[in-house]
Structure 1
Amino acid sequence: MQVFVTGGTGFIGAHVVRLLLQQGYAVKALVRHSSNLGNLRGLEVEIVKGDLNDPLLWQHMVGCQYLFHIAAHYSLWLKDRELLYQNNVLGTRNVLNAARKAGIERTVHTSSVAAIGVGSSGQVVDETHQSTLEKLVGEYKKSKFLAEQEAMQAVACGQEVVVVNPSCPIGPLDIKPTPTGDIVLRFLRRQMPFYLDTGLNFIDVRDVAWGHLLALQKGKSGDRYILGHQNLTFKQLLDQLAEITGLSAPQLSVPLWLPLGVAWVDEKILAPLGKSPSVPLDGVRMSFQPMYYDASKAIQELGLPQSSLETALKDAVNWFVCGGYVK
């Protein structure tokens, strides 16, 4: 069976591509002309260079039975609002329209727990929860929510689309790196003297890849599935990294008003003057509430694996060190 994949060069996408090849699928991957192809090097993948918004994208999908739409633009910078909408919302609309025209039988759309929102006061939430668009913090979260609505609209028009919502994946091949990988990298580089008093849900990226394939095989069209594992405070994650690496974890938390003030100055004053901001305002605002999730539905209905987070962290550390990310 031939599968069309968008976002195959990225962190999650690269693991999905590898899993598909291991399971005997033929893979055709859409990549941008500017993409770093390092994560696909040496793999038997048919490369298609193009764009999510290409009106002729459907022609490249002809002959494929399934689609994994994983590609998305990630940014927490205020200046990237239009880029987020163009890629994540309009790009998803075009990809799903292309799938319909090409006769794709079934699509897995990669959303994010960001599109679900958060519970109040650190409450653990599942797929039934939905923060209103107005309460979703930042343009990235809003764009992922709106992209999900495009997927649901496609379902309403008769397409088979399953939505998966990964939490924070950890593991090797984090080439960019992602925000989660950046936490690991900054810890290894000793660039984290303090920590924020918040929390996240983490999962091995290879389990996320399995979640995608299981969603294709077992998922219900029109449903969404949280691909997550452990809810940890930021401090607990850093303590695990300290145990793995032998490096000391930061012991002092910083009050949220401090990075919030820095981020406000960065984006509202320095950025318009041509300076490169260092702290995204939306990123700090997201930290005000822990982002905890319950993946029971994916575990029970799909058989989502729950591999050791310690192993995922060890593999991420080794990959960054061996890849020359850390001096």
Structure 2
Amino acid sequence: MRCFVTGASGFIGANLVHELVVRGHQVKGLLRPESDTHGLQGADFERVNGDVSERVKLIAMMRGCDWCFHMAASYHLWLRDYAPMYAANVKGTSNVIEAAVDAGCSRIVYTSTVGCIGLPRITRSRGRESADERIVPSDEATPVSEAQMINHYKLSKWKAEVVARELAAKGAPVVIVNPSAPVGPRDVKPTPTGRIIVDFLDRKMPAYLDTGLNWVHVRDVAIGQILAAQKGCIGERYILGNAEGNWTMQQTFAVLEEISGVPAPKMRIPYSVAMTAAHVSEAIARLTGRPPKAPLAGVRMAKHKMWFSPGKAIRELGLPQTPPKQALMDAVEWFRANGYTREAEGLDR
């Protein structure tokens, strides 16, 4: 197949390009002139310069392509002005999907986020001495509303997903995928999840918040996108996660300690303390113009354990399930091999 990929230089995008090339597909990747293409090294694909605001140019670029994978997005938890992020994420999604339809693409895979899925449900069963609390992972059918989009990034992606669903209802061949917390190689920037690992390896995490994520290997996400193009139902969405990947941060750091030899933090930060620190951090950011070290949006998201069930993608798409520990191992290996950590053998930082 001839494939058009937006956001080709991003973490998921670069892994998708490599996966498509390995499988024999012809790939055209949309890049901006300033894009860091380190993650694309070794991939044989056609590079085209542009961005998602240029709808007419997009049509010409996509002409002759069978599949379109739209991943280009602006991801920020703090900005002085959020208008450009909404333009890129919402209007950009509309531009890409409409251009792909006009260009004759037979399948359009829009990459959203699990942030647009409803929050996990908490159930409590009361025994003789205590009440047991259990978190039920969310799936695609979990109720959700715009009110749950607690920061501008999530709200912009929510609005973009609404656009994708509306265009699918009008006949656009759109399939939506919602990756959870991908980790693995080629996290060039790195992403917020990758930053957790780098900071852990550099011993910059003396404490942790009691939150949780669904870890998934980025390669599984890339393969899931391809499977969505091949098998996904138009207008449907699929969580690209791992059925065994719902871990607390305490569990995550314990596994990272086992993998890396770096001691895991033992102290848990109360949510109220984290919120206070975030307010102070944002107040300083407003004065200096520099992004806060602890944005409020990030702390608010950490209030809930972001646990999800990828059962639908496993059943309907055949989504692979690389063990989460292996995903973390591959991420640690890649960050170390590519000079992202300040570790020195034999030195205790």
> What range is the shorter-chain TM-score in?
over 0.9
1:5 matches 2:18: no
Q: Is the 8 A contact 1:168 1:180 kept in 2?
A: yes
Residue 95 (1) aligns with residue 65 (2): no
Within 5 Å, which residues of 2 pair with 1:72-221? 72-121=73-122, 122-221=135-234
Q: Mark the runs of 5 or more structure 1 residues left unpaired by the alignment.
A: none
* Matched residue, 1:60: 61
C-alpha separation between the residues in 2 aligned to 1:109 and 1:275?
33
Does 2:281 correspond to 1:266?
Answer: yes
CA change 1:78–1:134 in 2 (3 A) is farther
* C-alpha RMSD of the superposition: 1.2
By how many angstroms is 1:81 displaced?
2.2
2:335 to 315, 320, 323: 320
What does 1:281-292 align with in structure 2 at a 5 Å threshold? Answer: 281-292=296-307
**Closer, same or farther: CA 80–321 of 1 in aligned 2, 3 Å:** farther
The structure with the larger Rg is 2
SS of aligned partner of 1:163:
strand
Query: Is the Cα–Cα contact under 8 Å of residues 4 and 30 in structure 1 kept in the other structure?
Result: yes
Structure 2: distance between partners of 1:32 and 1:147: 21
Kept after mapping to 2: 8 A contact 1:78/1:139: no
The TM-score normalised by the length of structure 2 is: 0.91
Q: Distance in 2 between matches of 1:298 and 1:306?
A: 11
1:67-111, CA deviations, whole angstroms, 9 ceiling, x for partnerless residues?
Answer: 000111111115352222111111001111111111111101101
After the TM superposition, which segments of 4 or more aligned residues of structure 1 sit over 3 Å from their partners?
120-123
Residue type of the partner of 1:156?
A
CA contact (8 A) 2:55 2:96 kept: no
- Distance in 2 (CA, whole Å) between partners of 1:149 and 1:223 is 12
**In percent, how many aligned pairs have the same letter?**
47
So what's the TM-score if we normalise by structure 1? 0.97
**Residue of structure 2 in register with 1:47 after alignment:** 47
Question: Does the 8 A contact of 1:186 with 1:192 survive in 2?
Answer: yes
2:85 aligned partner, one-letter code: L
Q: Secondary structure at the match of 2:137?
A: coil
Q: Is the 8 A contact 1:120 1:289 kept in 2?
A: no
Distance 1:60 1:20 in 2: 18
| TM superposition shift of 1:275 | 4.6
Distance in 2 between residues matched to 1:208 and 1:65, nearest whole Å = 20
CA distance in 1, matches of 2:142, 2:85: 23
Query: Is 1:254 aligned to residue 269 of structure 2?
Result: yes
Q: In the aligned structure 1, how far is the partner of 2:217 from the partner of 2:341?
A: 21
Q: Which amino acid aligns with 2:285?
A: A
Give the whole-Å Cα distance in 2 for the aligned partners of 1:246 and 1:42.
31
Segments of 5+ residues of structure 2 without an aligned counterpart are 123-134, 343-349
Residue 294 of structure 1 corresponds to 309
Q: Do structure 1's residue 242 and structure 2's residue 257 form an aligned pair?
A: yes
Q: Is the CA contact (8 Å cut-off) linking 2:2 and 2:67 kept in structure 1? A: yes
TM-superposed deviation, 1:271 = 2.1
DSSP 3-state at the match of 1:52: coil
Distance, in Å, in 1 between the alignment partners of 2:155 and 2:53 is 19
Q: Which amino acid aligns with 1:306?
A: Q
Deviations 1:123-158 (A, max 9, x none): 311001142111222111111111111111111111
Flag the 1:262–1:244 CA change in 2: closer, same or farther, 3 A: same
Opposite residue 72 of structure 1, the aligned amino acid is A
**TM-superposition CA deviations, 1:9-48 (whole Å, max 9, x none):** 1111111111111111100000112110111223211111
What amino acid is the match of 1:171?
G
Show the counterpart of 1:228: 241
Segment of structure 1 superposing worse, 74-83 or 177-186? 74-83
Asked if the contact 1:117–1:136 (Cα under 8 Å) also holds between the matched residues in 2, the reply is no
Give the Cα separation in 1 of the matches to 2:236 and 2:93.
17
Partner amino acid, structure 2, of 1:82: A
Q: Give the conservation status (yes or no) of the 8 Å contact 1:201–1:228.
A: yes
Aligned residue number for residue 125 of structure 2: none
